[in-house]
């Protein structure tokens, strides 16, 4: 089974220590049980029990300490981080969130030239601490240009920090909050370490109604010394952007985990329910909904796994991961919403019931496209890569599965967060030409028309400033990249042809829908409308293929996992 199942966890190439951490984490949640998880969620109980487990088993310390600052199996390994993301997402957004914001908080530290603050973070990890990323502010969100947190110089060479931060996960318990501000005298950006324990650190409130503590905090003449400075000037700016480059990848995995649990729960419910004398799963529309949800979920996982491979081979000469990570953040999370919508149409009112995991997933899946940059922000970023992707491909060594045990050191040495328009990619056509399945052929034709439109009816200056126009165009471009990495990874993961063709069936439909949207934009030219009309294609329908996917992959999941109550 390609999808995650706690009762049949496949460690893959994980080393023994990593496998043991995953196994113990699964056992922690299964022993805790669904009823306890639901009760904590409904009563908004801080997950101290989970964090005690993290401390006892040295979970964060092992997974989030680069090897120069740790020992044994401690390293920053994107492949196993992805696997752990999926497990936490499977049991609930709250558990994943405290891990995710710790990753964001640690990003600036591991990128820093301040060895003392790195040693401090490593010691805190061993002590079981969580971390926080003090970037956004109430009035400015993540618009870091407008940050009002200031460090005022003092006669003794120190500074006093004043200002507030908003929407800061773990801000209630993080002894190291990587906080962005500006020097009052020069206006330069600065990252510095703050501690929630300090008397000059005011914890204002939790801004969400949740188990998570998403803090508003304020610093009032908070003393900062040179030992607390993480980065300054352009380095601080680059640190902020590069940390998000690392952290936003994880959001797709939270979606994958939640959707997988919801899928297990949904197929178990539907396969055992009788309506009008027939099992619910005998109805054709129910089968369609399940197969579509399954295909989308497999695609999400294939793409996210493949994106990790490119993160791990990243270098100053190979920054392809910047596009792929943005797509994990934007596309995988929105596909997660679609998977939940499809499953919800099957289980209907059951999805509201307070004793189901689905009720958590249906609520929390909405958050992920909106964190670490909205869909609109990430599509705007994705569009910066489109010209080079289509028209200026370059040669790169073939990238295989990167599941070996190693530190991903480049992620903390990414360099300036600029020059996205110079990033080059390998030729996507080679990947597509290697697969001759019916729906891949249809999708290939759609892609060719899109590329022709960009040559013969390229967007004008006004259209390039029209976000509404670019969103539809960006969605089509995203699908091309999405399909490429799915095909690359399908071979690596030995995914059968039926499933691949079923994936591309929904991709043909989605591409057609975005082409129709673009055609109908007020600013679309007549020539662009003509090309869009040519992109609207009917997928290759194959009833036998559909039935095989239903029987061999979807219906066969019934009863394979039920969470311990």
Percent composition of the chain: helix, strand, coil (DSSP 3-state, to 5): 60, 10, 30
Q: Is the pLDDT of residue 372 over 80?
A: no
Query: Residue 491, Cα to own-chain centre: how many angstroms?
Result: 23
Handedness of CA 137, 139, 142, 147 (dihedral sign): negative
Q: In whole angstroms, what is the distance from residue 486 CA to residue 492 CA?
A: 10
Q: Is the pLDDT of residue 500 over 80?
A: yes
Q: What is the pLDDT of residue 143?
A: 78
- Antiparallel, parallel or unpaired: β 278-279 and 214-224: unpaired
Specify whether the CB–CB gap between 130 and 98 falls below 8 A: yes
Phi then psi for residue 494, to 5 deg, are 60, 50
284 confidence band (pLDDT: 50, 70, 90):
very high
Q: Is the pLDDT of residue 375 over 80?
A: no
Phi then psi for residue 347, to 5 deg, are -90, -10
Q: Is the pLDDT of residue 373 over 90?
A: no
Bridge-partner residues for 222, per DSSP? 161
Nearest Cα neighbor of 515 from 557, 469, 556 is 469
Q: What is the pLDDT of residue 69?
A: 95
278 confidence band (pLDDT: 50, 70, 90):
confident
pLDDT digits (tens, 9 = 90+) for 515-532: 999 999 999 999 999 999
Query: Within 10 A of 23 (CB to CB), how many other CB atoms are there?
Result: 15
Q: What is the pLDDT of residue 376?
A: 77
Residue 456 in tokens: 């013969």
465 confidence band (pLDDT: 50, 70, 90):
confident
Query: Within 10 A of 377 (CB to CB), how many other CB atoms are there?
Result: 14
386 confidence band (pLDDT: 50, 70, 90):
very high
Which of the two residues, 143 and 29, has the higher pLDDT score?
29
The position carrying tokens 């007020």 is: 522
Residue 378 neighbours by CB under 8 Å, 6+ apart: 248, 326, 327, 329, 330
SS3 for 12? Answer: coil
Specify whether the CB–CB gap between 80 and 247 falls below 8 A: no
Query: Residue 542, Cα to own-chain centre: how many angstroms?
Result: 32
DSSP state of 277: T
Residue 513 in tokens: 């829908």
Residue 493 in tokens: 């993961």
491 confidence band (pLDDT: 50, 70, 90):
very high
Specify whether the CB–CB gap between 105 and 174 falls below 8 A: yes
pLDDT digits (tens, 9 = 90+) for 172-199: 999 999 999 999 999 999 999 999 999 9
Where in 207-355 does DSSP place strands (E)?
A: 214-224, 229-232, 274-275, 278-279
User: What mean pLDDT is reported for the chain?
Assistant: 95
pTM above 0.85, yes or no: yes
Q: What is the pLDDT of residue 365?
A: 97
Residue 386 in tokens: 């489109």
pLDDT digits (tens, 9 = 90+) for 117-171: 999 999 999 999 999 999 999 988 777 888 999 999 999 999 999 999 999 999 9
pLDDT digits (tens, 9 = 90+) for 61-98: 999 999 999 999 999 999 999 999 999 999 999 999 99
Q: In whole angstroms, what is the distance from residue 98 CA to residue 81 CA?
A: 14
Nearest Cα neighbor of 229 from 313, 81, 115, 372 is 115
Q: In whole angstroms, what is the distance from residue 341 CA to residue 339 CA?
A: 5
Residue ranges and CATH numbers for the domains of the chain are 6-126 (1.10.540), 132-232 (2.40.110.10), 248-385+413-555 (1.20.140.10)
Query: Residue 416, Cα to own-chain centre: how many angstroms?
Result: 22
Q: Is the pLDDT of residue 324 over 80?
A: yes
Q: Is the pLDDT of residue 467 over 90?
A: no
Q: Is the pLDDT of residue 508 over 90?
A: yes
SS3 for 173? Answer: coil
């Amino acid at each position: 089974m390609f999808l995650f199942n706690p009762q049949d966890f496949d460690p893959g190439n994980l080393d023994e220590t990593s496998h043991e951490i995953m196994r113990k984490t699964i056992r922690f949640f299964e022993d805790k049980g669904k009823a306890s998880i639901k009760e904590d969620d409904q009563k908004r109980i801080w997950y101290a029990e989970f964090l005690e487990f993290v401390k006892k088993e040295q979970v964060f310390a092992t997974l989030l300490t680069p090897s120069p600052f740790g020992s044994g199996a401690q390293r920053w390994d994107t492949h196993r981080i992805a696997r752990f993301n999926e497990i936490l997402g499977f049991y609930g957004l709250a558990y994943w969130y405290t891990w995710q914001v710790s990753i964001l908080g640690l990003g600036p530290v591991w990128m820093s030239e301040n060895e003392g603050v790195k040693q401090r973070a490593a010691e805190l990890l061993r002590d079981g601490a969580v971390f926080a990323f003090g970037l956004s502010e109430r009035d400015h969100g993540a618009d870091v240009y407008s940050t009002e947190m200031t460090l005022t110089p003092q006669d003794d060479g120190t500074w006093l920090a004043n200002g507030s931060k908003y929407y800061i996960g773990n801000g209630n318990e993080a002894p190291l909050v990587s906080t962005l501000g500006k020097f009052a005298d020069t206006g330069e950006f600065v990252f510095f370490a703050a501690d929630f324990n300090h008397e000059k650190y005011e914890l204002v409130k939790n801004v969400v109604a949740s188990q998570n503590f998403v803090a508003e905090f304020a610093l009032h003449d908070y003393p900062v010394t040179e030992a607390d400075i993480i980065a300054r000037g352009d380095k601080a700016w680059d640190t902020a952007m590069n940390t998000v480059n690392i952290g936003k990848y994880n959001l797709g995995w939270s979606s994958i985990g939640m959707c997988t649990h919801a899928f297990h729960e949904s197929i178990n419910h539907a396969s055992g329910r009788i309506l009008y004398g027939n099992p619910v799963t005998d109805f054709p529309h129910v089968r369609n909904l399940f197969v579509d949800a399954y295909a989308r979920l497999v695609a999400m996982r294939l793409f996210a796994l493949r994106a990790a491979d490119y993160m791990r081979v990243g270098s100053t000469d190979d920054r392809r991961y910047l596009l792929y990570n943005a797509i994990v953040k934007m596309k995988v999370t929105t596909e997660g919403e679609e998977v939940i919508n499809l499953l919800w149409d099957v289980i209907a009112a059951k999805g509201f019931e307070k004793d189901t995991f689905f009720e958590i997933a249906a609520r929390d899946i909405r958050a992920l496209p909106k964190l670490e940059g909205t869909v609109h922000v990430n599509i705007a970023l994705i569009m910066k890569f489109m010209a080079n992707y289509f028209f200026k491909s370059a040669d790169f060594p073939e990238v295989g599965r990167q599941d070996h045990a190693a530190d991903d050191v480049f992620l903390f040495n990414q360099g300036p967060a600029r020059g996205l328009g110079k990033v080059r990619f390998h030729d996507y056509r080679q990947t597509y030409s290697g697969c001759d399945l019916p729906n891949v052929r249809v999708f290939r034709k759609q892609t060719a028309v899109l590329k022709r439109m960009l040559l013969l009816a390229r967007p004008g200056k006004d259209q390039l400033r029209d976000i509404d126009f670019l969103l539809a165009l960006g969605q089509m471009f995203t699908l091309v990249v999405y399909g490429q990495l799915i095909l690359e990874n399908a071979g690596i993961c030995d995914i059968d042809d039926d499933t691949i063709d079923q994936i591309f069936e929904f991709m043909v439909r989605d591409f057609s829908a975005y082409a129709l949207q673009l055609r109908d934009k007020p600013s679309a030219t007549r020539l662009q409308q003509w090309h869009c009309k040519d992109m609207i294609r009917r997928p290759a329908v194959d009833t036998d293929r559909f039935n095989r996917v239903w029987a061999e992959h979807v219906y066969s999941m019934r009863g394979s996992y039920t969470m311990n109550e």
